[in-house]
């Protein structure tokens, strides 16, 4: 599993962040997603064999918002680090 952090642009309200969170959580291979409206960011845990940062960003864009990867994905260990 990988953990990644994205910048999300275009969100103006809690309904926007909820829309992004709901849309991304439906993607195959995404296990956990948290969108923060105040920091305009999204953190998620996903299976790199079933989902990719490019595909995740494309889905965010299809939902009507912008997305950029903040830093390279990091492997998530069993201890949650």
CB-based contacts of 19, cutoff 8 Å, min separation 6: 63, 64
| CATH number for the domain harbouring residue 51 | 3.30.70.100
β-pair partners for 43: 5, 34
Task: Check whether 72 has a pLDDT greater than 80.
Answer: no
Tell me the whole-structure pTM to 2 decimals.
Answer: 0.88
Tens digits of residue pLDDT in 9-68: 999 999 999 999 999 999 999 999 999 999 999 999 999 999 999 999 999 999 999 999
Number of domains making up the chain: 1
What is the 8-class DSSP label of residue 67?
E
Mind giving me the DSSP string for 23-49? HHHTSTTEEEEEEETTTTEEEEEE-TT
Instruction: Note down the domain range covering 58.
Output: 2-73
């Amino acid at each position: 599993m990988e953990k990644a952090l994205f910048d999300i642009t275009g969100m103006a309200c809690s309904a926007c962040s909820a829309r992004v969170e709901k849309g991304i959580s439906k993607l195959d291979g995404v296990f956990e997603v948290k969108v923060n409206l105040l920091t305009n960011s999204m953190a998620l845990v996903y299976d790199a064999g079933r989902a990719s940062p490019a595909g995740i960003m494309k889905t965010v864009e299809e939902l009507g918002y912008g997305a950029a990867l903040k830093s390279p994905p990091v492997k998530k260990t069993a201890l949650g680090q």
